[in-house]
Chains A and B, each alone.
Chain A
Amino acid sequence: MNTDKLNFVFPSKTKIISMILMAVGLVSIVCMFVFDTNVEDHHYQHNRAWANLFAGSFYFMGIALASVFFLALQYAAESGWSTTIKRLMEAVISFLPYGLSCLLLIFICGQIHLNTIYPWMAEGVSDINSPNYDAVIAGKSGYFGVFWWVRTILYMVAWVLFAWKLRKNSSDADALGIEESKGFHWKNIKLSAYFLVLFAYTSSTAAWDWLMSIDTHWFSTMMGWYVFSGMWVSSMITITLLVVWLKKNGYLEFVTESTVHDIGKWMFAISFLWTYLYFSQFMLIWYADIPEEVVYYKTRWESYKALMWAVFFVNFLFPMVLLMSRDSKRNFYFLVFVGTIIFIGHYLDMIMIVMPGTVGHNWTGLSWMEIGNFLFFLGIFIYVVLTNLAKRPLLVKNHPFLSESLHHSY
């Protein structure tokens, strides 16, 4: 094994590219706040700009969060194949606190009425004497308000703590010998099992609290899984692209073709999970035809029709047609081509979830605002992930399944 390629060095060219992305994004975010106004509607407070910031933060936070989940899944299932790419997952996880901070900032701005992403945060919605009174939201007021904030803080703290501890145990194991470090592996298995239980609940409730409550009057029991599967597939794409990029740069000689094939399978399989949930949510609501549920798709059908169809077909047909065969999952060009397309596809999905409840009928189609904002978060994401990747060797040292993973081939 080539030992000098075990430590990743953040190439200065990539660093500059990520900086440029951030700069371009920052400029477009500033422009977004200047240009995104609506003189006729006094309630319109740069809604689209805020919604964009929210979508970007949530999407990239979701990638990091799903990576924590996937890492925990590897531990809990005691799977061997993924050990060689464990450090990549841990690097992707490192974006989690940054994404959560962005979200927290947006929530705080919402609470002090700088933005109107959440209608239930507006003043007087549950005060019967107020002109803003909303009977439906007043009925749900126990769930929102202080209780919502308690939950939000709980999710953030719990997720970050688990992610930090999983990562730390993995680093500590590297410092010791093979026998002494086994304890850390057992600790991580235990920790992962706890995290998976926690995540099973919090991934659903966080999706309700943060995304579903944008359309406060509406509810769907599918929402949690739908958002979760979107996160998961984006996270699989990110790891695949990272593996291919590092391999092109001469790193990761020890990652076998079969390991790449396996992540390709995950990308393929979870695309179907997402399609299944997307369609099921639509089909059940379409079938039942209950007014308080249909309202969600009514806005989308009227002002976001192209986006709604594009998201569904891009994220379903591209992986299905192009990733079905064994050979295409072992072909870097296919993986990168499909991966890039559905990475953008799932970002559009996030736009499709967030925009109708915030921008509503003021939507004029995708524009430079969405692109600029996306590039900003992409820039930060690349910078944070690659900086963290460079901090430690690309291969774990004392993992019990390391040898199995190095010889993973079929």
Chain B
Amino acid sequence: MMLTSRPEHLHHEPQPALPREVIMVSEHSDAAGDMSALALKILVAGGFGVGKTTLVGAVSEIRPLRTEELLSEAGQLVDDTDGVDQKVTTTVAMDFGRITIRSGLSLYLFGTPGQDRFWFLWDELSQGALGAVVLADTRRLEDCFPAVDYFEHRRIPFVVAVNCFAGARAYGAHDVSRALDLDRGTPVVLCDARDRDSGKEVLIRLVEYAGRMHTARLLDSVS
């Protein structure tokens, strides 16, 4: 059985305009704030049921919390609610966890909504994110295409973590990388989302990669 390849035409969709709020935040980002504590954000994306919440739960020091974002005006633009009262709101749940590195430095993990139509929520989530983990299941690799496209366009560092479900045929990291047509250097890690050590390894690979990407961009900008 062949892995589903990511179609070429998906690679270069037009980038939607940033929501107004996001622009406002960036304008204010140099405002004086409390600099004593630093929080970093890592996104966990992938298709429905691929194990995002499981991964967050495996590495988080707190039980994964759920928060809900109410989508009203923005939601109406994308929600296909033909014949449904315009006032109906959509609730999008996000799961998140926390890892305290030391006092004043913590890592927050957010499981992003599975539906790619909620891209505007991703924009807000990805604002200032250190990087992303794209969880993939080789039995339905196509489910992670939107996430791969998204982070490639936004130039957000990401690693692909293949959740090795029992009974799923094992593919090598290279096969997955080729099927996803990943840029050279984008790490592919085989993992077990239920296992804490495995999840830690995925995060370490991501932070290392984010550091390399950052250094490369700094060098680019001075040459």
Decide whether A and B are members of one complex: no
Which chain A residues have a beta carbon within 8 Å of chain B's beta carbons? none
* Residue positions of B touching A, CB distance < 8 A: none
